[in-house]
């Protein structure tokens, strides 16, 4: 099969490219990525050596570019990771989130209608459900939880999901959606909590924790998310949504303390900073449906995943040091130094 992976130069997309090349050597993987600040070709260096892999630089919201690729590659499956993905950036400047996350999805699906495909898979997020209260630990997001978004990012992802379901109902497009909780692991861009804490702690810099650090996220090792997408896009039922998560809830403060303990750094580096506006309190996924229908279960325990992640950042300093010394440094200073 020919599989177009959009956003494959980013965090989860690149981990997915590597999983597919290893697990399905009979398939051809074509990565379409605009290489925004979050896309990094260095991440795909090993994939580039594989004859079953092709990288194309382009924008999913550019109809001409997308149609040209469909004409060249005759894809069977499209899996759409491409997105503006950082909540804080969406609060600073929402426009590009709407363009890429919603309009980009529309352009991709219109190409799917025009040329025909076996499956369009949308990589979505638990953030479309809004948040849960801290004092009701028995509540979880199911696929039937109503959409109730908090940030421009989550609203743009929810808009895309609604469009995907509309294309299924109106045009019969064979679609699936996965909604996953917070990922962590190799190639995670250092603006996100875990890699940010690792890179800053290693430099003995302050570790910004929003508000009181009580907000809870449901952390999943990235490879487990990728294996779930692989199953759903191949065997999931058309027109269905599958939640992905591993029942691994941690408060932000717990996560930060775990990382600094493993790095042997002092807790005095922790600095409580102004909270994120509209900050979601708790995410918690109920993954019963994907487990019952497709047999998916996460394989990586948090203790192992976080150790592997820290080791990866220790052993791949060049990868993230190149990032934090560039444009990102200016972004970080704008976000935190002026506060």
Residues lying near ligand DAU in the complex (CB under 6 A) are found at 85-87, 125-127, 181-182, 192-193, 196, 208-210, 215, 217, 252, 276, 283
Question: Minimum distance between the CB of residue 128 and ligand DAU, rounded to whole angstroms?
Answer: 9
Whole-angstrom CA distances from 144 to 88, 105, 126, 257 are: 27, 22, 12, 34
Residue nearest to ligand DAU (CB): 125
The site partner of 29 among ligand DAU, ligand NAD, none (C-beta below 5 to 8 Å per kind) is none
Q: Please name which of 76, 81, 158, 83 lies closest in space to residue 112, comparing C-alpha atoms.
A: 76
DSSP bridge pairs for 249: 218
Q: 62 in helix, strand or coil?
A: coil
Question: Minimum distance between the CB of residue 86 and ligand DAU, rounded to whole angstroms?
Answer: 5
Cα angle 20, 242, 146; round to 5: 145
In whole angstroms, what is the distance from residue 25 CA to residue 93 CA? 40
Position 59 contacts ligand NAD (CB under 6 A): yes
What own/partner pairs with CB < 8 Å and gap ≥ 24 does 194-197 have?
A: 194/255, 194/259, 194/306, 194/309, 195/313, 195/320, 197/255, 197/256, 197/259, 197/260
Q: Is 153 part of the annotated catalytic residue set?
A: yes
Question: Minimum distance between the CB of residue 185 and ligand DAU, rounded to whole angstroms?
Answer: 13
Contact in structure between 259 and 220 (CB atoms under 8 Å): no
Q: Of 153, 184, 187, 283, which residue is the catalytic one?
A: 153
The site partner of 217 among ligand DAU, ligand NAD, none (C-beta below 5 to 8 Å per kind) is ligand DAU
For residue 195, the surrounding DSSP H or E stretch is helix 193-202
Contact in structure between 13 and 85 (CB atoms under 8 Å): no
Give the total of residues touching ligand NAD (CB under 6 A).
30
User: Looking at 36-44, 206-214, 270-278, 306-314, which segment touches ligand NAD (CB under 6 A)?
Assistant: 36-44
The site partner of 61 among ligand DAU, ligand NAD, none (C-beta below 5 to 8 Å per kind) is ligand NAD
The site partner of 38 among ligand DAU, ligand NAD, none (C-beta below 5 to 8 Å per kind) is ligand NAD
Question: Minimum distance between the CB of residue 149 and ligand DAU, rounded to whole angstroms?
Answer: 11
Neighbours of 48 (CB within 10 A): 11
Site for ligand NAD in 154-213 (CB under 6 A): 157, 180, 182-183, 189
The site partner of 189 among ligand DAU, ligand NAD, none (C-beta below 5 to 8 Å per kind) is ligand NAD
Q: 173 in helix, strand or coil?
A: coil
Residue ranges binding ligand NAD (CB under 6 A): 6-7, 9-13, 33-36, 38-39, 59-61, 81-85, 100, 104, 123, 125, 157, 180, 182-183, 189
Supply the residues annotated as catalytic. Answer: 126-127, 153
């Amino acid at each position: 099969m020919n599989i177009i992976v959009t956003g494959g130069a980013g965090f989860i997309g690149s981990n997915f490219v590597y999983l597919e090349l290893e697990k399905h050597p009979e398939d051809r993987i074509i990565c379409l990525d605009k290489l925004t600040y979050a896309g990094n070709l260095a991440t795909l260096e090993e994939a580039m050596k594989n004859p079953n892999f092709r990288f194309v630089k382009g924008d999913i919201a550019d109809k001409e570019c997308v149609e040209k690729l469909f004409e060249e590659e005759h894809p069977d499956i499209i899996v759409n990771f491409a997105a503006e993905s950082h909540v804080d950036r969406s609060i600073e400047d929402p426009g590009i989130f709407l363009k890429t996350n919603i309009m980009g999805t529309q352009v991709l699906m219109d190409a799917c209608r025009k040329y025909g495909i076996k499956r369009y898979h949308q990589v979505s997020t638990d953030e479309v459900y809004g948040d849960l209260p801290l004092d009701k630990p028995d509540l979880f997001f199911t696929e039937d939880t109503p959409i109730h978004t908090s940030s421009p990012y989550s609203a743009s992802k929810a808009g895309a999901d609604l469009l995907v379901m509309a294309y299924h109902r109106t045009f019969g497009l064979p679609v699936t959606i996965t909604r996953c909780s917070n990922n962590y692991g190799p190639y995670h861009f250092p603006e996100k909590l875990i890699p940010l804490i690792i890179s800053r702690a290693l430099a003995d810099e302050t570790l910004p924790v929003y508000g009181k650090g009580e907000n809870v996220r449901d952390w999943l090792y990235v490879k487990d998310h990728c294996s779930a997408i692989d199953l759903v896009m191949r065997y999931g039922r058309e027109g269905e949504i599958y939640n992905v998560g591993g029942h691994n809830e941690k408060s932000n403060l717990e996560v930060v303390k775990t990382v600094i303990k493993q790095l042997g750094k002092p807790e005095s580096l922790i600095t409580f900073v102004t909270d994120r506006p509209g900050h979601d309190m708790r995410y918690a996924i109920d993954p019963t449906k994907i487990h019952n229908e497709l047999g998916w279960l996460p394989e990586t325990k948090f203790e192992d995943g976080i150790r592997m992640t820290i080791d990866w950042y220790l052993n791949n300093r060049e990868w993230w040091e190149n990032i934090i010394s560039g444009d990102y440094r200016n972004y970080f200073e704008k976000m935190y130094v002026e506060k």
